[in-house]
Structure 1
Amino acid sequence: MAFASRPSAQLLFRRLSRQLCQRRGACERTMTPDRCFALELPDCTLAHFTLRAGAPGNPQEACQHPRLAAILGSPGRSYSLCVPVAPEADYAARVRAAKLHQRLLHQLRGGPFQLCQLRRLLSYSPGGQPGSSQHGFLLRDPRDCLETRRALIELLGAFKETLHPHLGEFETDPHGQLWQRLWTLQDGECLEVGCALVIPTQEPPLHPVLPDLPSSVVFPNREAARAVLEACTSFIPEAQVVLDLVDQCPKQVQKGKFPVIAIEGLDATGKTTVTQSVSDSMKAVLLKSPPSCVAQWREIFDDEPTIIRRAFYALGNYIVASEIAKESTQSPVIVDRYWHSTATYGLATEISGGLQHLPPVHHHIYQWPKDLLKPDLVLLLTVSPEERVHRIASRGMEKTREEAELEANNVFRQKVEVSYQRMENPSCHMVDASPSKEKVLQTVLSLIKNNCH
């Protein structure tokens, strides 16, 4: 690409190359010294490291994490791209950062980067303060191709906004030390603004993104989710319609005298069949989340970053809650998916790594929102992964992006299932949906009879 009234990409590349050859001792300690990074490895473990200014030539400072050194060091070359941090309470900034992250992902998956390996990278403050995490990527070029570096410089120049990714480049020196150089684009020129040693560090007790989840994925109340969609109205017109529908719903609603049963489960576990059969057997009203008044826009919001997608589904739950409050005064209510679905998919998406990195049992993130009408019983339908895949194939079901991820990514599916099992207040009652429809219906009706008055 060419920059309007800016130095050409070739000139930027030559300047960058000259700077790379400068003596390391000239590097200034301009990086934040207490930032840590979590890199997702191929086996879904996380490798944590920090950055520290140091003098070259000390073998004791060499990276002692062999897998980390193999991914970040030579042969080949690795680059980090992180989206600048957005304050916890600034939802508009969080939405902009999420859109930038999504745009960056799309660009790094194609063009000159197709032969590179892409991994999730999280930058965070070791203190675990909310609003400190930065989402990004580790781009590994096994060929150490000049075109890759040139394309990254052009990529930085393409971001005209004030908010643009931070670019880091990893190098191994003759002493075996692993360095990260930090670059930024200023007045059309790629400048080095930091240089530090890569030092492995201990994994924190909890996943570093956890403090940010209540303001980005698992919203603790209606207002938090509403603030996100409010920041989207300028580029998603349907967001304003959703907000108007939410604002028509009372903020505090009470359940009627009849029982409310939420039925959860992955696609192809039999939810549609079971919810309809139970509704018919109990002469109950059948509701769905998201409700029909907003479900028509699912495809639009499913294409958006996680923070926007989860806010849409969260507000759908509050609209359904208003319908539940009304209908449960007259008859039992069956709800096809509710808050647990919104939370579990959000956790599985945002928590990088494997099952071991999910929040521990009894963590407050698994608690039902205090301002959302609570069902009397939540049933979780389960089938084996093989049976679920068979059912999907036989029905030719149309899949959302997250549902496609369930099929393609076994770890993602497991994180969704385990998150369901850890939900509390109310927790999920497991139901094996593998037997015949009649058997499953009998089991479900028995559970309702034993747990609902």
Structure 2
Amino acid sequence: MARRAMSQLLPQWSSRVFSVELNGAPFYFSIQERHRGEDMPHVFEEVRGNDRCYSLFVCSSDRIKQARFYPELKEKLLRDLPKGCDLSPMSSFLPNVKDSLLKGYFLKDRSAGSSLSERLLRDVIQHDPVLVCSYLKSEDGQLWTQRLWGDADSQTTEMSKDYCVVPSEAPEYHPATLNIINSDVFYSFEEACDVLKQSADIIPEATSVLELLPSRLEARSKPDFPVIVIEGLDATGKTTLTESLRDTLGAALLRSPPKCLSPLRTRFDREPPLIRRAFYALGNYITAEEMGQEGMKTPVIVDRFWHSTAAYAIATAVSGPVCNLPSDGSEVYRWPTDLLRPSLVVLLTLDPEERKRRLRDRGQGETAEEQELDHNQLFRLKVEEAYRRISGPACVTVDASPPADQVLQQVLLLIRAKCHL
């Protein structure tokens, strides 16, 4: 598997850009056949005299195996590497080429001897879908070269080609955006369904999800009654508002993910993003089926929908500051063509400190992503900005800081104006 992947990658290897995450910020470098006096890439500036550096990229034509092995490789390295080794997230990509992103790790080995690390890395490429590169420093310490190792079936342990390592400018868009579509965010029922079908042999619960899905997506006209989605972070007042709207409008109240998936959420939350996001995407389609049925009889209020699924996924996939998000108008913010479109989407916003206070008062457990929101302001800002950029339909922002009855009245005014209720 790795050998086949390597044969596909090698013709374009020198065109690739490499990114290493240090303290949450990406630093880029590239490779070329000759050095032309470029500065040393930032990644290597802090490398001490006897330190050794390697990169490992997970590479498999089986996307399920690739997604699951990436975190497994990290666990293996952290468990087996000698003390004095630092591991950082790393990626390799072809600029502006979709689905070209390879994920991996950058290893800085500060241990007393290289033999244990070298043996571990050689064992990895013998048994797992991993490409390994070593980085060699010149005698004067000013230049670095990259050497790509061979895989288990190669006649030699290392490839003979050495490339000079040079700085690279940051790409126009964060490299994670190259692989977001139908990987971190799903834009069709079939794409998400295929991931769970491919996972069924190793995740028995995937079959249970597939059995809950509608047999086919019928091309249905808009429901007779409006469908209003209420979005927002935890503790912004969604539950209070959606229940008040249900009672005031005589509406049906639905939630996404739907109740039928609740027993399976803990299981899929342990899976890597590809499988976890496919699970939540299919939850939206189950909810959409319910929305279509209920909307023929009565107005429908929905507690979260596709906006949440997409906003959290995009904010998680794209590291660094808010400016690294795909630009406004990017296709990653487009609404799936086969998913029922709500009549109105309301995004509740709240001052971060007030939201934290409400969470403390509520005393309820949080998802891992909600915990991340609480201690990582940058992540919260990215989620909120991703919410705002999703289009077709876009969110209408409502300040949730006033008393609940005032928020209700404001949203009712919006519904009457937009949905003619």
TM-score by length of 1: 0.83
Q: What SS does structure 2 have at the residue aligned with 1:378?
A: strand
Return the offset for 1:73: 6.4
Cα distance change of structure 1 residues 433 and 48 upon mapping to structure 2, 3 Å threshold: same
Return the offset for 1:111: 5.6
Return the offset for 1:263: 0.9
Q: What SS does structure 2 have at the residue aligned with 1:445?
A: helix
Q: What SS does structure 2 have at the residue aligned with 1:399?
A: coil
Counterpart pick for 1:243 among 180, 203, 210: 210
CA distance in 2, matches of 1:398, 1:159: 41
Q: Which residue of 2 aligns with 1:448?
A: 415
Return the offset for 1:221: 0.9
Counterpart pick for 1:138 among 106, 112, 133: 106
Q: What SS does structure 1 have at the residue aligned with 2:15?
A: coil
Cα distance change of structure 1 residues 322 and 150 upon mapping to structure 2, 3 Å threshold: same
Counterpart pick for 2:31 among 51, 58, 76: 51
Cα distance change of structure 1 residues 158 and 165 upon mapping to structure 2, 3 Å threshold: closer
Counterpart mapping for 1:383-402 below 5 A = 383-402=350-369
Counterpart pick for 1:183 among 143, 146, 149: 149
Cα distance change of structure 1 residues 250 and 391 upon mapping to structure 2, 3 Å threshold: same
Tell me if 1:68 matches 2:68. no
The one-letter code matched in structure 1 to 2:98 is P
Cα distance change of structure 1 residues 31 and 445 upon mapping to structure 2, 3 Å threshold: closer
Q: Which residue of 2 aligns with 1:164?
A: 129
- Structure 2, gaps ≥5 residues long: 1-9
Q: What SS does structure 2 have at the residue aligned with 1:267?
A: coil
Counterpart pick for 2:371 among 404, 407, 410: 404
Tell me if 1:96 matches 2:65. yes
Return the offset for 1:305: 0.6
Cα distance change of structure 1 residues 276 and 249 upon mapping to structure 2, 3 Å threshold: farther
Counterpart mapping for 1:340-355 below 5 A = 340-355=307-322
Q: Which residue of 2 aligns with 1:84?
A: 59
Cα distance change of structure 1 residues 74 and 417 upon mapping to structure 2, 3 Å threshold: farther
Answer whether contact 1:226 1:243 (CA < 8 A) is retained. yes
CA distance in 1, matches of 2:346, 2:49: 51
Judge which range, 305-314 or 237-246, deviates more.
237-246
- Structure 1, gaps ≥5 residues long: 1-28, 87-92
Q: Which residue of 1 aligns with 2:4?
A: none
Cα distance change of structure 1 residues 149 and 344 upon mapping to structure 2, 3 Å threshold: farther
Return the offset for 1:158: 5.3
Q: Which residue of 2 aligns with 1:324?
A: 291
CA distance in 1, matches of 2:53, 2:19: 15
CA distance in 2, matches of 1:74, 1:263: 56
Cα distance change of structure 1 residues 447 and 179 upon mapping to structure 2, 3 Å threshold: same
Answer whether contact 1:38 1:49 (CA < 8 A) is retained. yes
CA distance in 1, matches of 2:58, 2:328: 30
Answer whether contact 1:74 1:172 (CA < 8 A) is retained. no
Counterpart pick for 2:240 among 273, 280, 287: 273
Q: What SS does structure 1 have at the residue aligned with 2:157?
A: strand
Return the offset for 1:97: 0.6
Q: Which residue of 1 aligns with 2:5?
A: none
Return the offset for 1:72: 5.6
Question: 1:108-159, CA deviations, whole angstroms, 9 ceiling, x for partnerless residues?
Answer: 4456467644332110113x33331101122334xx1146762463265257
Q: Which residue of 1 aligns with 2:394?
A: 427
Question: 1:190-235, CA deviations, whole angstroms, 9 ceiling, x for partnerless residues?
Answer: 9222432111122222223323222312222111111111111011
Answer whether contact 2:188 2:338 (CA < 8 A) is retained. yes
Counterpart pick for 1:123 among 92, 99, 102: 92
Q: Which residue of 2 aligns with 1:35?
A: 16
Q: CA RMSD in A?
A: 2.6
Cα distance change of structure 1 residues 386 and 169 upon mapping to structure 2, 3 Å threshold: farther
TM-score by length of 2: 0.89
